[in-house]
């Protein structure tokens, strides 16, 4: 049986909206020992860093994201050199923008916007990596056509390549034995057995357009119920509150045994939408005591 690692911080790797990087060590403290780990709403996989062991299954419905995970696993040096090349080109252009005192740089820097257009045509995971790291507040956002539409973060240039390289190599070591799958969460759950542990971080009910796919809540609750009858332990990050306003969904009481409230720091999404920072807390539901 395995237990999660005890690291207090998670190296930043894949920028993903709704990331659990800050909460991950708190959530890991609540885990039971487990045989295999399953993370069916992977995103930036903050929990995966602590829970990954041989045979873990990590999945997401969004293909370019899973392709990026697979590249970090199989070709870390290619991921590093691609980011370094793009970052260096961006840096040259960025310095030029500053020299020319361009404040309203519509369509600039070209390195970022060309990369974004290319990604929206080809879905190359390396392009996704670069625009995620350099867009406004690192917020991954799509329009109705599923195109990445966040802009360049004018006052930041993204993580320095040396730091990025270090983080990629650390993560690469951690995820060596993990199976990455692009599939819907139900397919992933079908592989879980008694003794396994599942961590869920589904999209918020109100997160339309932030991710590629919204969640059918009734179907999701049915899947949790099935896990309960198969004696599979799970933890679920779900609803919560932001700046004193509650965003609770009707989580059926018979599905879980414990509910905790964890702080997730300030909301990057609300910061960009309302230009103010708001304290966010999220609920963690557990189906065991």
Q: Provide, rounded to whole angstroms, the least separation between the CB of residue 129 and ligand SAM.
A: 14
Least gap, CB of 91 to ligand SAM (angstroms):
27
Check residue 64 for interaction with ligand SAM (CB under 6 A): no
| Joined tokens for residue 65 | 């994201």
Segment interacting with ligand SAM, rule: CB under 6 A, options 44-52, 114-122, 256-264, 266-274: 44-52
Site for ligand SAM in 175-194 (CB under 6 A): 184-185
The b-or-e profile of 244-267 (16+ CB within 10 A means b, else e) is eeeeebebeeebbeeeeebebeeb
How does 141-154 read in b/e, with b if 16+ C-beta sit within 10 Å?
A: bbeeeeebebbbbe
Most distant CA atoms of the chain, gap in Å:
64
Task: Assign 38 to helix, strand or coil.
Answer: strand
| Binding track, positions 77-96, relative to ligand SAM; x by CB under 6 A | --------------------
Looking at the DSSP assignment, which residues form a beta bridge with residue 262?
282
Q: Kindly tell me which residue out of 4, 20, 80, 171 binds ligand SAM, with binding defined by CB under 6 A.
A: 20
Q: Which stretch binds ligand SAM (CB under 6 A): 25-33, 42-50, 84-92, 165-173?
A: 42-50
Determine, following the binding rule CB under 6 A, whether residue 34 of this chain makes contact with ligand SAM.
no
User: Angle at CA 9, nearest 5°, toward 6 and 12?
Assistant: 130
To which residue do tokens 């933890």 refer? Answer: 235
Contact flag: residue 16 with ligand SAM (CB under 6 A): yes
Distance of alpha carbon 287 from alpha carbon 217, whole angstroms:
17
Q: Find the residue with minimal CB distance to ligand SAM.
A: 43
State the Rg of the chain over Cα: 19
Contact residue for ligand SAM among 213, 257, 259, 276 (CB under 6 A): 213
Q: Which residues bind ligand SAM (CB under 6 A)?
A: 16, 18-20, 40-41, 43-46, 60-62, 184-185, 201-203, 211-213, 215
């Amino acid at each position: 049986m395995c237990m999660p690692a005890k690291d207090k911080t998670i190296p930043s790797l894949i920028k993903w909206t709704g990331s659990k990087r800050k909460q991950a060590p708190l959530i890991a403290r609540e885990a039971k020992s487990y045989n295999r780990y399953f993370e069916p709403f992977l995103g930036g996989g903050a929990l995966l860093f602590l829970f990954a062991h041989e045979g873990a299954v990590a999945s997401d419905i969004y293909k370019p994201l899973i392709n990026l995970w697979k590249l970090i696993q199989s070709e870390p040096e290619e991921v590093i050199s691609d980011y370094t090349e793009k970052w260096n080109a961006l840096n040259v252009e960025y310095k030029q923008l500053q020299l020319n005192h361009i404040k309203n740089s519509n369509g600039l820097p070209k390195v970022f916007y060309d990369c974004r257009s290319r990604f929206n045509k080809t879905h190359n995971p390396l392009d996704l990596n670069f625009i995620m790291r350099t867009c406004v507040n690192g917020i991954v956002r799509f329009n109705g056509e599923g195109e990445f539409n966040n802009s360049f973060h004018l006052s930041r240039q993204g993580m320095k390549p040396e730091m990025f390289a270090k983080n990629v190599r650390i993560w690469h070591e951690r995820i060596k034995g993990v199976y990455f799958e692009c599939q819907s969460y139900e397919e992933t759950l079908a592989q879980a057995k008694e003794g396994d542990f599942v961590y869920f971080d589904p999209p918020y009910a109100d997160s339309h357009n932030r991710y590629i796919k919204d969640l059918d809540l009734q179907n999701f609750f049915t899947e949790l119920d099935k896990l309960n009858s198969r004696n599979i332990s799970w933890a679920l990050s779900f609803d919560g509150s932001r700046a004193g306003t509650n965003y609770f969904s009707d989580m059926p009481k018979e599905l879980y045994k414990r509910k905790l409230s964890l702080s997730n720091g300030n909301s990057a999404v609300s910061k960009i939408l309302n230009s103010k920072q708001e304290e966010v807390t999220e609920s963690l539901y557990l189906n065991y005591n």
